[in-house]
Amino acid sequence: MNAALDLIRNKIVLPILTAPFQHKWQVQGLGMLRTYLDPNTRLHIWHSKLNYCEDSGWHTHPWDFSSFVVAGKITNSRFLKREDTPSGVATGWQPFTEQHIICGPGGCAMSEPKSVYLFENSREAYTAGNTYSQRADEIHTTGTMDGSITIITRKTVNEDGSANVYFPRGSEWSSAEAREATEDEIMLGVNVALKRLSAEGQL
């Protein structure tokens, strides 16, 4: 067993999961339950039932980050962008709409929608004990297994909290702004996380 995984699971994750109501939880619309460990570090529990803006999963961030996978599986896809119309047939470039937004509480769109094209440049899979990193300006979307647990560490790049979001041409952006989690949502996330840890032999 990975020593770092053992330490993080036993010293950080399990104490939180076994006493969840001692912590403040939020639901974030891309399908996660989250709580802050410090101002720049968050514990995430992923569940598809918490995803309420499926058409807005492509985005950048106001910060660089690294993510440590405690349980489950994360699929991280990174995209290239171009603004001119791709030539040729079956190029892999897909039509999207881009908007510049302010993230976080009170977040809103800061630009008019703009037509762009995105190309999936890489797709990476990570499981328990893996770490991956990403720059603030990299466009990505995240696929997860229900019950996946990650710890994300951030370093702010855009002090104004701005980032870009992308959604398929013909759809509309919907905010994934976090809100306070209900007791039912907390237990939904905690229970599925404990089941994932058990299924992977970590309990």
Cβ proximity of 148 and 50 under 8 Å: no
Distance, CA of 17 to CA of 25 (rounded, Å) = 12
The pLDDT tens digits for 4-29 are 899 999 999 999 999 999 999 999 87
The pLDDT tens digits for 146-159 are 999 999 999 988 87
Supply the pTM of this predicted model. 0.91
Tell me the residue range of the domain where 148 lies: 3-199
Model confidence at 81, in pLDDT bands (50, 70, 90)?
A: very high
The pLDDT tens digits for 27-61 are 987 889 999 999 999 999 999 998 876 656 899 99
Cβ proximity of 161 and 107 under 8 Å: yes
Where residue 76 sits, what CATH number does that domain have?
2.60.120.10
Tokens 């460990």 label which residue? 37
CB atoms within 10 A of CB 112: 9
Share above pLDDT 90 across residues of the chain, in percent, rounded to a whole number: 67
The number of folded domains in the chain is 1
Distance, CA of 188 to CA of 101 (rounded, Å) = 30
User: What is the length of the chain?
Assistant: 203
pLDDT: is 108 or 162 the higher one?
162
